[in-house]
């Protein structure tokens, strides 16, 4: 692994992505922070450059603006060494808000699913040609089962899981590893102050777990790990019973 | 931004305040959240919540938590000037800069405190007599005023800077702090520890070693009679040696201790052991920076040992002239109360201060923890009365019980502070539980 590593972090403004970029740079990689608020990303880039001495660049990226994705990928072709991708964006409107405004369902799918597929599918040939690198895609435990409280978001993430599985199959043949991450409760802006959370993980913990698991070439990562058990139980509940639960 | 309904306390725990909080992660979000309309109880700022009392609480009102505004924005190795967002904490600065030979010039005894919080309480360290207070090292601040407008403030700006340094967050949201780091060449300090058998010996030992770069004393708050004021004086000098920087083991207090765990007997035993730990002839040894500056941080959530009801910290400073007699009176009341805990500190302070409401004055500062039990208010009142009579004051970062009148007598520069607040925040948008208790938004 002596070749220069670069992590492209898509949706770099979130707390998890910020922690991930810091951790990746601390382990010796350069980072490219991609997101909408480039002014703010420049602050994170400065922080990373100062604290780790690695190169940290910013690039404008909007998951919903799919028309811009091709030119972004073109620019990334110039990145030397190994290009790794961490896809970490997402939006989680409340189910009640979606029920009141069905358009929200579409934008939720557009950012969590269509936007993700759009950028990853354009990056895939680039990664295939380089025959190296890791792709980390952020799904969610919410994608493991359609639940009353969160099923549009869950459906979008579930779609992403399936897409990532297929991409893993495709890119794995060319030496590129794809890892799906399913975080449980993490202390982020999305979950801040929500009632009913338990065993909440810090963004720094999740970031480290992702890098460790990616180095071990794990396929699907539940983080914290015990969510694997929780979701195994939830998946095992027969639909006949599940449809009456409101979890 | 979505507001979360939270129940928060200060570091001393005790009764919680219900408030509506935001916790912005980006600069633009922070400015927007700060400018959102607020109710009658206004808005309070909060860093890591390491203040013991109620300066970062706002029952029935709003709060903006700064911990996610945590980026280091610039560093100039020539001048040592670092620029940070307010939520950057002392731990991060230690991790990033110590390996490069830079250390914060002034730090509180916990590295979980944020730099924004350090400015708002104009904190001091174990080197106050020589290094002054934190804000004396600040070269520039960016501030969002209560009306939402931005302003860069420097020490030369006078009133607004002096109101913001030690200003308890009441002049608005600090969004950037520039301050000068200090160069250090080695991994830590050479610490000398010596016993002092009573108060007089303690004060003499402190005077003799007044030139020491760092100086801090542990005092046995339970000792009485001929042992009154006994303790251990710790002085330290930076040393050039590479001290093994193995990470101290981190422990966590996993549950709230039951109320009876800390009692006069267990504390008496602890204090006796702690005192005898240092040989009669004293001892000298190298200690890594982290262990020396932040000994308590090795035990996470140590405030839980006081149980659910929490505890109160009393910290005062009394002038050198009246100090010896006042300290004797204070210690007599304390040991007679049989309530003091084992965390007790005695230090000398210098004149360094940067704000109207800064705590320091030349003299002795004494800090002790008391479990929050019935009768604590009376004890606190007796201690503040002795402090006031001696011409001293209590530290607002620790305070939860002072009254508005005593506060005014202890902080003669409050009038200057009030004048600035009246000019930038006539409608009293910035609030806190402490601001209401001490009537900080009312006439001096
Ligand atoms: C174990 C321990 C040891 C300590 N040792 C010392 C010591 O040696 N010396 C010392 O001086 N203090 C000491 N303290 C006290 C501590 O340093 C101060 O209370 C400090 O202010 C805590 O910072 P914080 O980030 O937790 O701020 P908080 O407690 O959350 O807030 C403190 C104040 O800062 C304001 N504030 C926070 N962020 C901003 C911002 N961005 N803009 C404007 N205002 C803001 C808040 O409104 C509040 O008034 C100690 C505390 C502990 C728990």
- The CATH number given to whatever domain includes residue B144 is 3.30.465.10
pLDDT digit string (tens) for B325-357?
999 999 999 999 988 877 789 999 999 999 999
Domain boundaries, chain A: 5-242
Q: Which percentage of chain B shows pLDDT scores above 90?
A: 84
State which H helix or E strand residue B414 sits in.
helix B414-424
Task: Please indicate whether residue A153 is annotated as part of the active site.
Answer: yes
**In DSSP terms, which residues pair with B143 in a beta bridge?**
B151, B174
Beta strand pairing status for B214-219 and B150-153?
Answer: unpaired
> How many domains, in total, are found in chain B?
2
Q: Are residues B212 and B330 in the same domain?
A: yes
Is B23 part of any domain?
Answer: no
Is B8 part of any domain?
Answer: no
* Listed range (A34-48, A231-245, B57-71) with the worst mean pLDDT: A231-245
| pLDDT, chain B, mean | 94
Chain B closest-CA separation from residue A46 CA (Å): 6
Is B45 part of any domain?
Answer: no
pLDDT digit string (tens) for B382-405?
999 999 999 999 999 999 999 999
- The answer to whether the CB of A35 falls within 8 A of the CB of A11 is yes
pLDDT at B246 over 60: no
Cβ of A193 within 8 Å of Cβ of B21? The answer is yes
Q: Are residues B268 and B339 in the same domain?
A: yes
Contacts A–B by Cβ distance under 8 A: 46
Could you tell me if the CB of B34 is within 6 A of ligand 1?
Answer: no
Is B285 part of any domain?
Answer: yes
Residue B189 Cα distances to A232, B112, B192, B287, angstroms: 53, 21, 9, 5
What is the average pLDDT across A13-40? Answer: 97
Q: How far is the CA of B420 from the centre of ligand 1 (A)?
A: 22
Q: Are residues B251 and B293 in the same domain?
A: yes
- Provide DSSP, B166-182: T-TTTT-EEEEEEEE-E
Is B28 part of any domain?
Answer: no
Q: Are residues B128 and B203 in the same domain?
A: no
* Last residue within a domain, chosen from B184, B208, B228: B184
Q: Are residues B252 and B381 in the same domain?
A: yes
User: Could you tell me the strand order of the sheet in which B188-196 lies?
Assistant: B283-288, B188-196, B231-239, B214-219, B344-349, B363-371, B311-319, B393-394
Question: Can you give the pLDDT at residue B312?
Answer: 93
* Cis peptide leading into residue B148 (ω within 30°): no
pLDDT digit string (tens) for B176-218?
999 999 999 888 999 999 999 999 999 999 999 999 999 999 9
Here the CATH number for the domain that contains residue B278 is 3.40.462.10
Closest CA relative to residue B253, chosen from B297, B300, B298, B308 = B300
Number of H helices, E strands in chain A: 10, 7
Q: Are residues B245 and B380 in the same domain?
A: yes
Neighbours of B297 (CB within 10 A): 18
* Listed range (A118-127, A216-225, B338-347, B363-372) with the worst mean pLDDT: B338-347
CB contact set of B58 (below 8 Å; sequence gap of 6+): B17, B19, B41, B42, B43, B44, B431, B432, B433
Provide the residue range defining the domain that includes B243: 188-402
Cα gap B228→B320, rounded to integer Å: 19
Can you give the length of chain B in residues? 444
Cβ of A193 within 8 Å of Cβ of B28? The answer is no
Question: Can you give the pLDDT at residue B247?
Answer: 60
Chain A residues near residue B96 by CB distance under 8 angstroms: 50-51
Q: How far is the CA of B113 from the centre of ligand 1 (A)?
A: 6
Q: Are residues B94 and B141 in the same domain?
A: yes
Is B148 part of any domain?
Answer: yes
* Last residue within a domain, chosen from B184, B209, B241: B184
The CATH fold assigned to A5-242 is Rossmann fold (3.40.50)
Q: Are residues B347 and B198 in the same domain?
A: yes
Could you tell me if the CB of B174 is within 6 A of ligand 1?
Answer: yes
Q: Are residues B238 and B103 in the same domain?
A: no
Cβ of B23 within 8 Å of Cβ of A192? The answer is yes
State which H helix or E strand residue A154 sits in.
helix A151-172
CB contact set of B212 (below 8 Å; sequence gap of 6+): B235, B236, B237
Token readout for B127 is: 């080197």
Q: Are residues B241 and B136 in the same domain?
A: no
Is B443 part of any domain?
Answer: no
Q: Are residues B237 and B335 in the same domain?
A: yes
CB contact set of A26 (below 8 Å; sequence gap of 6+): A51, A52
pLDDT at B86 over 60: yes
Q: Are residues B314 and B372 in the same domain?
A: yes
Is B204 part of any domain?
Answer: yes
Chain A residues near residue B92 by CB distance under 8 angstroms: 51
Q: With cut-offs at 50, 70 and 90, classify the pLDDT of residue B300.
A: confident
Backbone angles phi, psi at B104, to 5 degrees: -65, 140
Residue B18 Cα distances to B1, B4, B56, B170, B187, angstroms: 18, 10, 12, 19, 43
Neighbours of B233 (CB within 10 A): 27
Closest CA relative to residue A48, chosen from B77, B115, B71, B90 = B71
Atom of ligand 1 nearest to the CA of B86: 41
């Amino acid at each position: 692994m002596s070749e220069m590593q670069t992590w492209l972090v898509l949706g770099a403004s979130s707390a998890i992505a910020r922690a991930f970029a810091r951790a990746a740079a601390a382990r010796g990689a350069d980072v490219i922070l991609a997101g909408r608020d480039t002014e703010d990303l420049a602050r994170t880039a400065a922080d990373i450059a100062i604290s780790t001495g690695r190169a940290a660049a910013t690039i404008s990226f909007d998951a919903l603006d799919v028309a811009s994705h091709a030119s972004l990928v073109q620019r990334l072709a110039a990145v030397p060494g190994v290009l790794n991708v961490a896809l970490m964006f997402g939006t989680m409107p409340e189910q009640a808000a979606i029920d009141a405004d069905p358009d929200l369902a579409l934008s939720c799918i557009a950012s969590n699913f269509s936007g993700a597929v759009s950028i990853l599918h354009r990056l895939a040939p680039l990664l295939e040609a380089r025959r190296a690198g890791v792709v980390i895609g952020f799904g969610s435990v919410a994608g493991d089962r359609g639940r009353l409280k969160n099923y549009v978001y869950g459906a979008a993430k579930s779609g992403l899981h399936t897409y990532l599985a297929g991409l893993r199959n495709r890119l794995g043949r060319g030496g590129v590893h794809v890892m799906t991450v399913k975080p449980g409760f993490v202390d982020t802006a999305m979950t801040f102050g929500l009632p009913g959370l338990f065993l909440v993980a810090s963004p720094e913990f999740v970031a480290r777990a992702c890098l460790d698991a990616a180095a071990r070439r794990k396929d699907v990562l539940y983080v914290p790990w015990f969510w694997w058990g929780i979701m195994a139980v939830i998946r095992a509940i027969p639909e006949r019973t599940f449809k009456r639960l409101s979890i | 931004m979505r507001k979360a309904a939270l129940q928060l306390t200060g570091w001393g725990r005790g009764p919680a305040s219900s408030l509506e909080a935001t916790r912005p992660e980006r600069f633009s979000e922070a400015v927007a959240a700060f400018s959102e309309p607020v109710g009658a109880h206004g808005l309070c700022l909060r860093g890591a919540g390491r203040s013991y009392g109620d300066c970062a609480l706002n029952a029935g009102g709003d709060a903006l938590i700064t911990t996610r505004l945590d980026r280091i924005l610039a560093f100039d190795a020539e001048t040592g000037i670092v620029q940070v967002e307010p939520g950057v904490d002392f731990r991060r600065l230690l991790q990033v800069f110590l390996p490069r030979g830079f250390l914060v010039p002034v730090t509180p005894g916990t590295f979980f405190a944020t730099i924004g919080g350090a400015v708002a309480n104009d904190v001091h360290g174990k080197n106050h007599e020589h290094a002054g207070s934190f804000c004396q090292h600040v070269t520039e601040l960016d501030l969002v005023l209560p009306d939402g407008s931005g302003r860069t403030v420097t020490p030369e700006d006078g009133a607004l800077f002096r109101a913001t340094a030690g200003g308890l967050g009441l002049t608005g949201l600090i969004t950037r702090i520039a301050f000068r780091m200090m160069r250090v060449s080695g991994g830590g300090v050479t610490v000398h520890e010596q016993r002092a058998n009573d108060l007089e010996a303690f004060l003499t030992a402190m005077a003799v070693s007044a030139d020491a770069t760092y100086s801090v004393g542990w005092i046995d708050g339970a000792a009485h009679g001929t042992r009154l004021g006994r303790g251990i004086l710790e002085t330290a000098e930076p040393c050039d040696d590479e001290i093994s920087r193995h990470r101290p083991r981190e422990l966590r207090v996993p549950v709230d201790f039951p109320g009876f765990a800390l009692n006069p007997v267990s504390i008496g035993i602890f204090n006796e052991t702690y005192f005898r730990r240092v040989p009669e002839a004293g001892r000298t040894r190298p200690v890594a920076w982290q262990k020396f500056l932040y000994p308590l941080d090795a035990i996470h959530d140590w405030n839980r040992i006081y149980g659910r009801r929490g505890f109160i910290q009393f910290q005062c400073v009394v002038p050198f002239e009246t100090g010896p007699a006042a300290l004797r009176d204070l210690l007599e009341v304390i040991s007679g109360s049989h309530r003091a805990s084992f965390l007790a500190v005695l230090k000398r302070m210098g004149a360094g201060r940067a704000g109207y409401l800064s705590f320091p004055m030349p003299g002795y500062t004494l800090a002790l923890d008391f479990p929050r039990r019935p009768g604590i208010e009376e004890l606190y009142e007796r201690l503040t009365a002795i402090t006031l009579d001696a011409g001293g004051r209590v530290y607002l970062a620790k305070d939860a019980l002072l009254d508005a009148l005593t506060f005014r007598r202890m902080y003669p520069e409050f009038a200057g502070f009030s004048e600035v607040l009246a000019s930038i925040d006539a409608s009293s948008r910035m609030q806190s539980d402490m601001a209401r208790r001490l009537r900080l938004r009312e006439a001096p």
